[in-house]
Amino acid sequence: MVQKLSVLVIEDEKSICYFIAKTLNASDYKAVTAGSGKEGLAILTSALPDLVLLDLGLPDMDGIDIIKQTREWSSLPIIVISARVQEREKVAALDAGADDYITKPFGTDELLARIRTAIRHSNKIVDDKVNSTRPYSARGLVVDFGKRLVTVERKEIHLTRVEYKIVSMLAQNSGKVITYSSLIEQVWGPYADDNNRILRVNMANIRRKIEKNPGEPEYIFTELGIGYRMIEDENLE
């Protein structure tokens, strides 16, 4: 089963937010909504959506600031949806790091076409980065970065988006200890709470999925008080 791409809609006008979410859900996307900038940033760092639709005129902060903060840690596609029609507003949003700009009012066909284009461009950038990265392999565990696929003894392991990011980061740095704070920042962003609880919960789920005995792991080891270390890639030995 193919996982639906998630789109975060940060929009304070409830009628517009409802219209966009309904359009996305009907078009095989998973819509997540936020009515303020603060709520949007919180969802961004916790849910890690595939794309953001962002209104600039939010009640608690300017959308430009959200773009800037997001670009400090993520390259996920951001499409601005705004009633601001002045050219300087569009230039400011694009210079801050937005991928596209749609002026309200807009039609559903245009919105969906812009989303498809932004995701295509994003996937190409990711593909270009990982094409030269060969899969990680150790004791029957394989992490194929190009296909975003994890298998154990050739059996596919279904990980959530967050779980895959954790496994991928550890695999790309196999044999090295990655600190809790480094993992949290890379996965949830620099504005995430540095409490290790959410990381521990995700790690417990990962171990249940990939380890034969989660209590005695053979792939991912805990360095108490420091972080995690994945068994070294056999291709490096």
Q: pLDDT, tens digit, for every residue of 185-232?
A: 888 877 666 678 889 999 999 999 999 999 999 999 998 888 899 998
User: Does the pLDDT value for residue 94 go beyond 90?
Assistant: no
Say which CATH number the domain at 180 has. 1.10.10.10
Asked if 116 and 22 sit in the same domain, the reply is yes
Determine the structural domain holding residue 140 and report its residue range: 136-236
Rounded Cα–Cα distance for residues 84 and 44 (Å) = 24
For residues 61 and 37, the answer to whether their CB atoms sit within 8 Å is yes
pLDDT at 156: 94
User: What is 3-43 written as a DSSP string?
Assistant: PPPEEEEE-S-HHHHHHHHHHHHHTT-EEEEESSHHHHHHH
If one counts the domains in the chain, the total is 2
The residues, any chain, with a CB within 8 Å of residue 77's CB and separated by 6 or more, are 50, 51, 52, 99, 100, 118, 119, 121, 122
User: Does the pLDDT value for residue 124 go beyond 70?
Assistant: no
Asked if 45 and 144 sit in the same domain, the reply is no
Rounded Cα–Cα distance for residues 30 and 170 (Å) = 28
Asked if 123 and 221 sit in the same domain, the reply is no
Asked if 107 and 142 sit in the same domain, the reply is no
For residues 171 and 151, the answer to whether their CB atoms sit within 8 Å is no
For residues 221 and 231, the answer to whether their CB atoms sit within 8 Å is yes
Asked if 99 and 183 sit in the same domain, the reply is no
Rg (the chain; Cα; Å): 19
- pLDDT above 90: percentage of residues in the chain: 53
Higher-confidence position of 116 and 129: 116
Asked if 97 and 15 sit in the same domain, the reply is yes
Q: Is residue 1 part of a domain?
A: no
Q: Name the pTM for this structure.
A: 0.62
pLDDT at 224: 81
The CB density around residue 174, as the number of other CB atoms within 10 Å, is 21
Asked if 144 and 86 sit in the same domain, the reply is no
Rounded Cα–Cα distance for residues 234 and 237 (Å) = 5
If you average pLDDT over every residue of the chain, what do you get? 87
User: Does the pLDDT value for residue 34 go beyond 50?
Assistant: yes
DSSP 60: S
Asked if 112 and 208 sit in the same domain, the reply is no
User: What is 190-210 written as a DSSP string?
Assistant: TTS---SHHHHHHHHHHHHHH
Helices (H), 48-140: 63-71, 87-96, 108-130
Sort strands 136-138 and 141-144 into parallel, antiparallel or unpaired. Answer: antiparallel
Of 201, 78, 209, give the one whose Cα is nearest residue 156: 209
Q: pLDDT band at 90, cuts 50/70/90? A: confident
Count of positions (residues) in the chain:
237
Asked if 46 and 159 sit in the same domain, the reply is no
Write the pLDDT tens digit of every residue in 58-67.
Answer: 999 999 999 9
User: Does the pLDDT value for residue 127 go beyond 90?
Assistant: no
